[in-house]
Amino acid sequence: GAVVSQHPSWVICKSGTSVKIECRSLDFQATTMFWYRQFPKQSLMLMATSNEGSKATYEQGVEKDKFLINHASLTLSTLTVTSAHPEDSSFYICSARVRVGLAGGDTQYFGPGTRLTVL
């Protein structure tokens, strides 16, 4: 149980284009989803927290107009990197969690990640 998928697993795009990454919880309803960014040989940096049906909460220093997050259903959240540039190249990882207070609501389950390369 508690499987989270991401699509695509890797993507290469040209500078200036937009890229959408999907995060799905396959066998549970994720009230909250998180988006992280990981640079090589570094830890995960939280970008934003998204609750189903409401606007995402972005961490300090993360441009909300550049990284658009949509959590339209209890099983799907999307991250769109708009007007991507080479410095946006990174490994993007999502996680999902059931509602706090429910069984398992204390644990985030992670997707396999999406490697974005912007040329």
Partner 1 sequence: AQSVTQLDSQVPVFEEAPVELRCNYSSSVSVYLFWYVQYPNQGLQLLLKYLSGSTLVKGINGFEAEFNKSQTSFHLRKPSVHISDTAEYFCAVSDRGGGAQKLVFGQGTRLTINP
Closest CB to partner 1 among residues 35, 88 = 35
Binding residues for partner 1, per CB under 8 A?
4, 6, 32, 34, 42-44, 46, 49, 57, 91, 93, 95, 97, 100-101, 106-113, 115
Alpha-carbon distance of 107 to 55, in angstroms, equals 22
Closest CB to partner 1 among residues 70, 91 = 91
Contacts 24+ apart (CB under 8 A), 99-103: 99/31, 99/32, 100/31, 100/32
Closest CB to partner 1 among residues 83, 102 = 102
Q: Residue 102 CB, nearest distance to partner 1 (Å)?
A: 12
Calculate Rg over the CA atoms of the chain: 14
